[in-house]
Amino acid sequence: MDKTVIHPRDLIAGLQKGLALMQLFSAEQPRLSVPEAARLSGLTPSAARRFLLTLVHEGFAETDNRHYWLTPKALRIGQAYVDSAQLPRMLRPIVEQVARQTQEHVSVGTRDGDEIIHVVRSRYSHIASLSIRPGSRVPMYCTASGRLWLASLEAADLQAYFQRNPPRALTPYTQTDIAALTAEIARVAAQGYSLVDQEYEIGMRVLGVPLCDRGGRLKATLAITTHASRLNQDELRQRYLAPLYEAQALLRPVLD
């Protein structure tokens, strides 16, 4: 994806560090001490403490004087994107159309660094999955949307991705062999869709297609998630590839 080049002298280092610090909080580390925040961020303990206290002062964090954690106000930052960005608003009607047609959960994901972030999900859903809520972030190597993005990379960039992100087993079905993953990603590129069977979440099968603009540039991915008990892999392909391809064609001019 195209990225605006900005000269370092035009950047505010303090804002960069503060935003990076906020992103350290996660399900695995919902609370951070000053030493932990300093170690994870690369800041000095005194600098980390000042940034954390600033977040507390602005209402984005709370503290018990030992640990810090984000408050619901932090949701305003993500909600600002949902409310203001054109892409989710433009995609939603088609997402809901595919969901009504298939009676399955439909979502749109885009790449953010080495992860996929979901920016739209259908209101209809018969499944309970934390991975497909808006704003959720998932790995690329073991998800349908992620493999579609990896399939768009040059060989050297794909190798660099695996060096940064050594695959690890998240379920008993997760493929972790890099040679096998590379072959699967090449197959995804050739066939134009990705099907992942319970590699990220037990019980979840996902079928996805790329969303490209009229110039062929990958902008996002469209995926159907269903429970493994509902359809096998062949049934999933036979029943849902056509609606996904129809939506893909409808969205191509929108993505320009």
pLDDT tens digits for 16-62? Answer: 888 889 989 987 899 999 999 999 999 999 999 999 999 999 999 99
Tokens of 163: 């060096």
Q: What residues in the chain have per-residue pLDDT under 70?
A: 1-3, 79, 81-85, 124-135
How far, in Å, are 21, 40, 116 from residue 61 at the CA level?
11, 17, 26
Look at residue 133 in the predicted model and tell me its pLDDT.
Answer: 59
Q: CA-based Rg of the chain, rounded to a whole angstrom? A: 20
Model's pTM, two decimal places? Answer: 0.74
Amino acid 214: pLDDT = 86
Given this model, what pLDDT does residue 88 score?
76
Pick the CATH number of 85-251 from 3.20.20.70, 3.30.450.40, 3.30.470.20, 3.40.50.360: 3.30.450.40
Residue of 168, 162, 110, 103 lying closest to 134 (CA atoms) = 110
Distance CA 227, CA 147 (A): 20
What is the predicted pLDDT for the residue at 227? 92
Rounded to whole angstroms, the Cα distance separating 212 from 197 reads 24
Domain locations along the chain = 8-76, 85-251
- Give me the pLDDT at residue 136, please: 75
Q: Are 45 and 81 in contact (CB under 8 A)?
A: no
List the one residue out of 225, 184, 236, 220 whose CA is nearest residue 202.
225
Produce one character per residue of 225-250: b if its CB has 16 or more CB atoms within 10 Å, e if not. Answer: bbebeebeeeebbebbbebbeebbee
pLDDT, the chain, mean: 89
Q: What does 202-236 look like in DSSP terms, one character per residue?
A: TTEEEEEEEEE-TT--EEEEEEEEEETTT--HHHH
Alpha-helical runs (H) found in the chain: 13-22, 34-41, 45-57, 75-84, 86-102, 144-150, 155-164, 178-191, 233-251
pLDDT for 155: 95
| Domain covering 8-76 in this structure, CATH number | 1.10.10.10
Contact 219, 227 (CB under 8 A): no
